[in-house]
């Protein structure tokens, strides 16, 4: 595949990345403090629901966001995702009952159900196909930086200024993301005016069949992130780490360097090879986290996990677009993200109910999830082999 000489690093692409960085920081900054916050509300045994409820509505909203992205436009769908974050940040300090908290987690999930779907389609619109891996890698890098900055800033603000200030700061970051998005050019042509009929979803609108293989790999591989989001805050406290965002900062910083090259490598050598390497590295990271009953062990595990996701994510996103048709990019990305939410939510829910605030169980949950990632690895091998056999038969 001949590489385009045109630079992908335009003002339009830079604004998109900055908006995603702020959006990611917004919803990630509150995550490390939510397990203790839920305990203070009397819901310690329901920590698995913190992430599971969030991902439930994110997944449910994907078919709608995919359809709206392909018909109404990329920009308004991105804006809706950030608006939800603004509203939720202001409501957390007000709705201080268990039922109120869980309702907010459900509503908050709509944010990630909308913005990433439209953003990925926007990237595919403005970047030549032979550079998708590189572009999605760089965009993922910015999203990950937000995921690193957010938890660190959120824990710092919570410790020094209180939880309410942290929630309001989350709203501020999301608001800045909206300001950027609303000043970006729409890339969907032709686009239609919003109609309520766009919200009528048929069975064919839910999944893009061509993207299902990418969805399977996404579901299995992202279960690890749900496990980590649920368990790492308590694991950090067990190791007497005051800033619970430290893991996420180390994990993201480790992924930054690899993302500079991993997308380009997948463009040159193929998505399959790169995904296989990424999956194996994630397996190693989970084993390290299970064995790392020390601060240094946690940081090493976080760095290896960051490297694994930094290798896997750009190739997996680009593979999803490769498998789809141009007119169904929004639906294809929605399909992948539905699988992502199921993976994260399922991992979080299962981890929470096995964990039950009993620290010695955490290593075994990590080892068990490593087996799930191995399943993703073998599925990719199987898919690649059957694809080759189908091609041979056609010849």
Instruction: List, for residues 297-318, the tens digit of each pLDDT value.
Output: 999 999 999 999 999 988 998 8
What would the mean pLDDT of 172-181 be, rounded to a whole number? 96
CB 373 within 8 A of CB 279: yes
**Would 34 be classed as within a structural domain?**
yes
Q: Is the pLDDT of residue 395 over 80?
A: no
Q: What is d(CA 204, CA 201) in angstroms, rounded to the nearest whole number?
A: 8
Report how far Cα 245 is from the mean position of its chain's Cα atoms: 17
Cβ–Cβ contacts within 10 Å for residue 40, how many? Answer: 11
pLDDT band at 390 (very low <50, low <70, confident <90, very high): low
343 located within any domain: yes
Instruction: Give residue 388's pLDDT band: very low, low, confident or very high (50, 70, 90).
Output: low
CA distance 268 to 122: 22
CA–CA dist 281, 120 (Å, integer)? 25
pTM > 0.95: yes or no: no
Q: Give residue for tokens 């898919």.
A: 383
253 and 379 in a single domain? The answer is yes
Cβ-based neighbour number of residue 242 at 10 Å: 9
* Residue where a domain terminates, one of 129, 163, 189: 189
Q: Domain boundary at 163, 189, 215, which?
A: 189
| Distance (Å, whole) CA 219 – CA 214 | 9
Same domain, residue pair 141 and 210: no
Residue 355 is assigned to a structural domain of this protein: yes
pLDDT at residue number 244 = 72
CA distance 338 to 217: 12
Which of 207, 237, 221, 174 lies closest to 27 in space, CA to CA? Answer: 174
- 3-class secondary-structure state, position 244: coil
CATH number at residue 110: 1.20.1250.20
pLDDT exceeds cutoff 80 at 1 = no
- Report the alpha-carbon distance of residue 227 to residue 303 in Å, rounded: 16
What is 14-53 written as a DSSP string?
Answer: HHHHHHHHHHHHHHHTTGGGHHHHHHHTT-GGGTHHHHHH
Q: Name the residue among 237, 304, 184, 279 with its Cα closest to residue 44.
A: 237
If asked whether residues 329 and 370 sit together in one domain, one would say: yes
Residue 4 lies in a domain: no
Asked whether residue 196 is domain-assigned, the answer is: no
Asked if residue 98 has pLDDT above 90, the reply is yes
Structure token digits, residue 201: 């979803």
Mean pLDDT for 348-377 is 93
- Residues 291 and 329 grouped into a single domain: yes
Domain of 224? 205-394
SS3 category, 140: helix
**pLDDT of 389 strictly over 70:** no
Asked if 377 and 302 sit in the same domain, the reply is yes
Q: Which of 165, 189, 213 marks a domain boundary?
A: 189
The total number of structural domains that make up the chain: 2
The pLDDT of residue 392 is above 80: no
The per-residue pLDDT for range 314-330, each reduced to its tens digit, is 899 889 988 988 778 77
Residues 117 and 248 in one domain: no
pLDDT at 292 (0 to 100): 80
> Are residues 185 and 312 located together in one domain of the fold?
no
Peptide bond into 274 cis (omega under 30): no
Residues 128 and 226 in one domain: no
Which residues fall within 8 angstroms of residue 155, CB to CB, at 6 or more apart?
A: 32, 33, 243, 244, 245
Specify the pLDDT at position 2: 46
């Amino acid at each position: 595949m001949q590489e385009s000489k045109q630079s992908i690093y335009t003002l339009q692409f830079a604004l998109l990345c900055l908006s995603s960085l702020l959006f990611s920081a917004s919803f990630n900054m509150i995550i490390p403090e939510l397990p203790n916050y839920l305990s203070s509300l009397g819901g310690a045994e329901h920590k698995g629901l913190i992430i599971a409820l969030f991902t439930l509505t994110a997944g449910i909203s994907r078919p709608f966001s995919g359809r709206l992205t392909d018909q109404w436009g990329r920009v308004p769908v991105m804006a809706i995702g950030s608006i939800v974050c603004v509203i939720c940040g202001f409501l957390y300090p007000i709705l201080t009952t268990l039922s109120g908290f869980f309702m907010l987690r459900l509503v908050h999930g709509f944010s990630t159900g909308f913005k990433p779907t439209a953003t990925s389609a926007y990237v595919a619109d403005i970047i030549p196909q032979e550079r998708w891996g590189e572009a999605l890698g760089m965009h993922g890098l910015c999203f990950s930086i937000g995921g690193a900055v957010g938890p660190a800033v959120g824990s710092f603000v919570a410790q020094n200024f209180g939880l309410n200030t942290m929630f309001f700061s989350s709203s501020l970051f999301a608001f800045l993301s909206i300001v950027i998005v609303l000043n970006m050019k729409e890339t969907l042509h032709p686009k239609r005016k919003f109609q309520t009929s766009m919200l009528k979803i048929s069975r064919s609108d839910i999944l893009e069949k061509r993207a299902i293989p990418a969805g399977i790999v996404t579901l299995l591989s992202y279960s690890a992130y749900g496990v980590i989001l649920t368990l790492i805050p308590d694991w950090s406290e067990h190791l007497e780490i005051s800033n619970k965002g430290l893991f996420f900062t180390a994990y993201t910083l480790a992924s930054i360097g690899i993302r500079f090259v991993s997308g380009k490598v997948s463009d040159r050598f193929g998505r399959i090879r790169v995904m296989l390497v990424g999956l194996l590295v994630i397996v190693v990271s989970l084993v390290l986290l299970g064995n790392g009953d020390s601060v240094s062990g946690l940081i090493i595990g976080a760095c290896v996990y960051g490297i694994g996701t930094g290798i896997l994510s750009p190739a997996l996103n680009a593979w999803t677009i490769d498998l789809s048709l141009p007119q169904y990019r929004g639906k294809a990305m929605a399909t992948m993200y539905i699988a992502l939410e199921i993976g994260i939510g399922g991992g979080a829910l299962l981890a929470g109910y096995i964990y039950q605030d009993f620290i010695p169980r955490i290593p075994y949950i990590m080892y068990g999830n490593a087996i799930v990632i191995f399943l993703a690895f073998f599925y990719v091998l199987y898919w690649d082999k059957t694809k080759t056999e189908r091609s041979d038969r056609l010849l």
